[in-house]
Structure 1
């Protein structure tokens, strides 16, 4: 039985590479490379189509260049993943509809009519709320689907690669203030609130007519900002993906799957959940060498530490997030997978080694990828990204990284049906994502959104190195009851909460789960109004404690990192560790940013700041509710020398919920399963090689995916060696 949908190429693991986008300086050379890619074991190519190139004059459509590639791919037995670039609109559209530009809050037009795909694929493009621009785009997509859709080797359509409004200078307020979008916004508000009186009561404002309702234009920390950003990020963006998807489905004669993909997913944002669910599946970009760590992190001072960041963050965190966006039982592609050095104008990065590619690909598989498409087969030639990203150099038919990609790709395809159909088991722990909370931080003064994202990233890092896999769960999924599958749920930095939504978390704990909330849960409500109790509605009864006091605490050492400047000497408390009590006695936990103290009513103290309670656990029905007085994620990757026992405390807390780490000694373990078969991925986060004998867990046979790690096996166990900062994968049946 099929567990993952959709299926591509009769059930293969899609293994491809990008080959074409405009300006394409030598189409003959690209066509000549296709047999080479076939020999290297690729079964798919990626083609990026451009509206401005294929309809340079209104009504005159020419797909001949793309058709040439599709036809040759078909002759070679290669599937095609075809991406639309509708944001790169033709010049005639801007002339015909001069009012289809995005509009800034101050009335300026976002005007970038240049017809190049680089940079940023023409984003943000026209405002798709403009009826003329939208209709013209839909007509073009219909023609494209009818014309190119006749080729059966097209496997999937992509409506938007690296979804976003960027680049722009709109700041936090964002787009779009054109009359069409403002009318849509008011229409959406009418549906949400039902009456102007209800909107006025929520926003604490006094509009007399719906036509007066506007989003903020100068200030962000205002109640309307929460609805405005949700409308643009979640409603507008999903709607524009939907109209493209609809045009493809209505005109594709073979009804191929439609998807889109995000760039590096935004930790803490829920918008990607809305984007992903428009299509049949979802994807992500993975460029592990583009970023490495965060400015607040402790310095990365070794190759092993840099590579470890690529594994846990750039590959596994990003893919786990995309898997959460996507939902279970749906294909998940590494839709843009780094193939060569990062190149941005004069900044030329290091070429990935064969081991880099092997490690990245295994990490993507471990987190649930069911397809991989490299960016791209040869290095780029256009100015800003010149000589970057490709598996091959401009001249020559071989490279070490191409050979490595080929070898690993063939090994994956030898088990192609398994990797196309398997997925990681559901995790025991969920990290909760709340889009309104994300927008609350976005609106706060300064760059507070970085605090929210950094802390959540740190919580993931703690769990990752403990060997505790997590699923990211969106607020809508929580409301739909999906928390029933989990033993514990972590509510990260929940300063702004809706009391009605919080009731779902209370229900989860009463039913036997463990809710772990960080400091000041619901200090503000959803729309930024401070709560009298300094906790979310229902919070005092849930956590069995009342708010007592709040101070800000400095970071250890000489760096401010995430702390603002003190307004005066002594405004912030000095760095401090919280002391465990009861079952957590002997553990020390660093306080970060906020330190909230509590007055327990029914809860049991578990952390103290001197004689004051700084965390408590409360029995709630069949489960538990925990309120921590600070933020555990900040010091997961910063101030490590002063972090104390943060990891051990979190592990002990989750153990009380029945959560068990999945590790073999120092080796971290990730799993995929399907039809009685499994793959186990062993991750060595240390710098030294580890040899370990492991029980087969009831399986009969063990096979090394790539050869080299499996040393021996008996009827009951097997022995493998994993090099320092590396991954190994075995298949069990």
Structure 2
């Protein structure tokens, strides 16, 4: 959307696929060098830069805001027609604010203040910062944001305000005991929490019955402080991680919008997706642009650095096989959270080797950069900012992340990135506005389940491994998925999908269980792992072993549950000393009698009421299918995603492949290539993926198109008899632009 038609440069920048890099934060390189770097970046093919404004740096003394360096860089970018994204880091509050409001510090569960008023960006851009419910610090921040927006909004090449970089409390930066890094227990936040509870429950008796608590009035309610495995934890985590953080985003957005006459886009991003949680989607609601950072060398299964692997004894080929799907999961999770009305950006994209103190990874090659960028684009990314244009100079990240050399001269990977920027901007509308065709399959995520497993020993790994296993298996089959949250399901959004998958659904609320049952009754197909609703959403046991709606849906009663050994080529979920029966496989029955499925961690057995058995082992029936209403429910009594995650469990993968085929889920393939698409008007971007360890040549049917362009080669391909011939190297991606 064009905010002001008279501002031609701004209009043109909004029309482009934004491809930029961060160039400034304090401590910084000399300003004159940065100005020269802007020209270098422009020449490479980039069209935007990101500039970071730290509150404590630009307002060292109250009321004296110094934006001189920021403005010089904005003006220099304007000279070469480059857009600017302004990143404002509020968590770095000035020392005068800390001293003026000593009670603005976040309080942990032991009423201990988070004490770190240092003025540095590292380790986490000042996070967690102060408590933003404190009225004094909130007023100071509002004045600062307003003045910055008023002063800088005159520059027409500003294209977006990034109001929060890597959202969250960053608890992992603090103590290891959970009660010491859970926030915030200050009077201001607790007052708002109690008000929210009163609006949610309305009746104190209802709250006490739900929580199994004995509070006599709303003012006396306390969240858990020492032992977190209690019902109140679920509401407390929802309030802090969704209500509190989303309200901060909304507050920052509204201040800047009020003071920016051009009403430019608001951006924020997380450091990584919170797999299993719904919070990313809630944050996205408060922005125009939402996204994530992407540092492949930090992500498990990266092929860029073997020391980062959690995969045991695997070849480089198998690691690259994992990398393609693992990184795609990163992007699909955020794409699903952003939804259609927003834009999906990568707020930070690794540009050089990962540096951490004395440790540094190998430098990414141009081939790495190309593969990473094409994976991101195939997952729906609509804009990219690299971190960083030159190697970092500050202690912890020293010598790391630079896209260019230390002196600002381009590396081959920087040239490759610039080449890709130029290529996609020849078709900017397709990549900026092109939609991702709706998948048939959804993987269900649930904030309450995430809160439950987060404090239940070993359970978080169970959930996240199952999510990853299902996603990666389907991805390598060419079956694309959305991740859909429980809140969306309760609003009826699951009806848009043919099949839904329920990973590790051990904690399941009655309302969600009933909604899933209705989805199947109306014609949907639900695949569930073991123990759906073993406890309710508040962690209270369903003594029959399964939620009532799940027993009805799958036509079973729970019989028994056992631990078993894990089949894994990644790290174990549970300690090796836990008592488990030996590894075991279930044998198929009926239409599946020639198939087997290995159990992983859990073996749940069932007594039939209406369901038809499809798997059994020496312990009993372990898998059922049940026709319910117009749909089907399939219950598999183990953690299937765990079993699918290792590469060598071929028998299990054959069984799940047969199941998927029987449900008539169609993969998107071009011969042996996986195909992902983005569509806009009369054009499509086809991402053809060779996920094998050998070069593959295919003849591809392009009957509906009159022109096919290989965008990285800037070459039109010959169409003969409605087909094109294309060869793709192992573990590589080609992008074709198809025109009708």
Tell me, yes or no, whether TM beats 0.5: yes
Residues 663-686 of structure 1: CA deviation (Å, up to 9, x unaligned): 234321111111021111111111
Judge conservation of contact 1:710–1:719 (CA < 8 Å) in 2.
no
CA–CA distance in structure 1, aligned partners of residues 159 and 313 of structure 2 = 41
Q: What is the match of residue 394 of structure 2?
A: 382
Instruction: Say whether residues 1:506 and 2:512 are aligned partners.
Output: no
Instruction: Say whether residues 1:332 and 2:344 are aligned partners.
Output: yes
Deviation at 1:330, TM superposition (A): 2.4
Instruction: Say whether residues 1:545 and 2:553 are aligned partners.
Output: no
SS across alignment from 2:103: coil
CA–CA distance in structure 1, aligned partners of residues 309 and 583 of structure 2 = 16
Instruction: Say whether residues 1:288 and 2:296 are aligned partners.
Output: yes
Instruction: Say whether residues 1:15 and 2:32 are aligned partners.
Output: no
SS across alignment from 1:105: coil
- CA 1:676 to 1:95, structure 2 compared with 1: closer, same or farther past 3 Å? same
CA–CA distance in structure 2, aligned partners of residues 296 and 725 of structure 1 = 18
Q: What is the match of residue 724 of structure 2?
A: 718
Q: What is the match of residue 65 of structure 1?
A: 69
Residues 324-353 of structure 1: CA deviation (Å, up to 9, x unaligned): 111124211111111111001100111110
Q: What is the match of residue 330 of structure 2?
A: 318
Judge conservation of contact 1:590–1:644 (CA < 8 Å) in 2.
no
- CA 1:249 to 1:519, structure 2 compared with 1: closer, same or farther past 3 Å? same
**Counterparts of 1:241-252 in structure 2 under 5 Å?**
241-252=249-260
- CA 1:620 to 1:172, structure 2 compared with 1: closer, same or farther past 3 Å? farther
Instruction: Say whether residues 1:372 and 2:384 are aligned partners.
Output: yes
User: Which residue among 178, 199, 204 is the counterpart of 1:196?
Assistant: 204
Judge conservation of contact 1:296–1:562 (CA < 8 Å) in 2.
no
Judge conservation of contact 2:533–2:545 (CA < 8 Å) in 1.
yes
Q: What is the match of residue 683 of structure 2?
A: 677
Deviation at 1:708, TM superposition (A): 9.1
Q: What is the match of residue 278 of structure 1?
A: 286
SS across alignment from 1:728: strand
Q: What is the match of residue 426 of structure 2?
A: 414
Judge conservation of contact 1:441–1:449 (CA < 8 Å) in 2.
yes
CA–CA distance in structure 1, aligned partners of residues 490 and 357 of structure 2 = 46
Judge conservation of contact 1:88–1:121 (CA < 8 Å) in 2.
yes
SS across alignment from 2:448: helix
User: Which residue among 668, 687, 694 is the counterpart of 2:693?
Assistant: 687
Instruction: Say whether residues 1:478 and 2:489 are aligned partners.
Output: yes
SS across alignment from 2:102: coil
Residues 276-319 of structure 1: CA deviation (Å, up to 9, x unaligned): 11111211111112233299964253333333333221x31111
Deviation at 1:558, TM superposition (A): 11
Q: What is the match of residue 456 of structure 1?
A: 467
User: Which residue among 599, 615, 623 is the counterpart of 1:615?
Assistant: 623
Q: What is the match of residue 652 of structure 1?
A: 658
Deviation at 1:700, TM superposition (A): 2.0
- CA 1:306 to 1:560, structure 2 compared with 1: closer, same or farther past 3 Å? closer
User: Which residue among 20, 25, 30 is the counterpart of 1:26?
Assistant: 30
CA–CA distance in structure 1, aligned partners of residues 485 and 33 of structure 2 = 45
Deviation at 1:225, TM superposition (A): 0.6
SS across alignment from 1:713: coil
User: Higher mean Cα deviation, 37-46 or 290-299?
Assistant: 290-299
Judge conservation of contact 2:352–2:363 (CA < 8 Å) in 1.
yes
CA–CA distance in structure 2, aligned partners of residues 61 and 296 of structure 1 = 45
Instruction: Say whether residues 1:635 and 2:649 are aligned partners.
Output: no
CA–CA distance in structure 2, aligned partners of residues 425 and 124 of structure 1 = 38
Q: What is the match of residue 374 of structure 2?
A: 362
Q: What is the match of residue 588 of structure 1?
A: 596
CA–CA distance in structure 2, aligned partners of residues 278 and 262 of structure 1 = 13
Instruction: Say whether residues 1:79 and 2:83 are aligned partners.
Output: yes
Instruction: Say whether residues 1:518 and 2:529 are aligned partners.
Output: yes
Judge conservation of contact 2:404–2:411 (CA < 8 Å) in 1.
yes
SS across alignment from 1:99: helix
CA–CA distance in structure 2, aligned partners of residues 372 and 651 of structure 1 = 35
Instruction: Say whether residues 1:140 and 2:144 are aligned partners.
Output: yes
Judge conservation of contact 1:553–1:573 (CA < 8 Å) in 2.
yes
CA–CA distance in structure 1, aligned partners of residues 300 and 152 of structure 2 = 40
Residues 522-571 of structure 1: CA deviation (Å, up to 9, x unaligned): 0000111101221113121111111111111112599981233556xxx4
CA–CA distance in structure 2, aligned partners of residues 77 and 557 of structure 1 = 52
CA–CA distance in structure 2, aligned partners of residues 558 and 26 of structure 1 = 48
SS across alignment from 2:285: helix
CA–CA distance in structure 1, aligned partners of residues 294 and 540 of structure 2 = 39
- CA 1:172 to 1:636, structure 2 compared with 1: closer, same or farther past 3 Å? farther
Deviation at 1:356, TM superposition (A): 0.6
Q: What is the match of residue 6 of structure 2?
A: none
CA–CA distance in structure 2, aligned partners of residues 291 and 10 of structure 1 = 31
Q: What is the match of residue 162 of structure 2?
A: 158
User: Which residue among 339, 342, 360 is the counterpart of 1:348?
Assistant: 360
Q: What is the match of residue 91 of structure 1?
A: 95
Deviation at 1:457, TM superposition (A): 1.1
Judge conservation of contact 1:160–1:241 (CA < 8 Å) in 2.
yes
Q: What is the match of residue 253 of structure 1?
A: 261
Judge conservation of contact 1:491–1:518 (CA < 8 Å) in 2.
yes
Judge conservation of contact 2:300–2:310 (CA < 8 Å) in 1.
no
Judge conservation of contact 1:319–1:368 (CA < 8 Å) in 2.
yes
User: Which residue among 277, 288, 309 is the counterpart of 2:322?
Assistant: 309
CA–CA distance in structure 1, aligned partners of residues 663 and 192 of structure 2 = 45
Judge conservation of contact 2:423–2:714 (CA < 8 Å) in 1.
no
SS across alignment from 1:441: helix
CA–CA distance in structure 1, aligned partners of residues 14 and 534 of structure 2 = 53
CA–CA distance in structure 2, aligned partners of residues 114 and 278 of structure 1 = 29
Residues 636-693 of structure 1: CA deviation (Å, up to 9, x unaligned): 233x44x242223223223333211112343211111110211111111111100011
Judge conservation of contact 1:709–1:721 (CA < 8 Å) in 2.
no
SS across alignment from 1:681: strand
Judge conservation of contact 1:709–1:728 (CA < 8 Å) in 2.
no
Judge conservation of contact 1:200–1:206 (CA < 8 Å) in 2.
yes
* Length, aligned pairs only: 723
Deviation at 1:415, TM superposition (A): 1.2
CA–CA distance in structure 2, aligned partners of residues 113 and 100 of structure 1 = 11
SS across alignment from 2:410: coil
- CA 1:709 to 1:511, structure 2 compared with 1: closer, same or farther past 3 Å? farther
Judge conservation of contact 2:241–2:279 (CA < 8 Å) in 1.
yes
Judge conservation of contact 2:470–2:645 (CA < 8 Å) in 1.
no
CA–CA distance in structure 2, aligned partners of residues 581 and 631 of structure 1 = 19
Instruction: Say whether residues 1:666 and 2:672 are aligned partners.
Output: yes
Q: What is the match of residue 231 of structure 1?
A: 239
CA–CA distance in structure 2, aligned partners of residues 286 and 54 of structure 1 = 28
- CA 1:186 to 1:356, structure 2 compared with 1: closer, same or farther past 3 Å? same
CA–CA distance in structure 2, aligned partners of residues 290 and 69 of structure 1 = 30
SS across alignment from 2:291: strand
> Structure 2 length normalisation: TM-score?
0.94
> Structure 1 length normalisation: TM-score?
0.95
SS across alignment from 1:227: helix
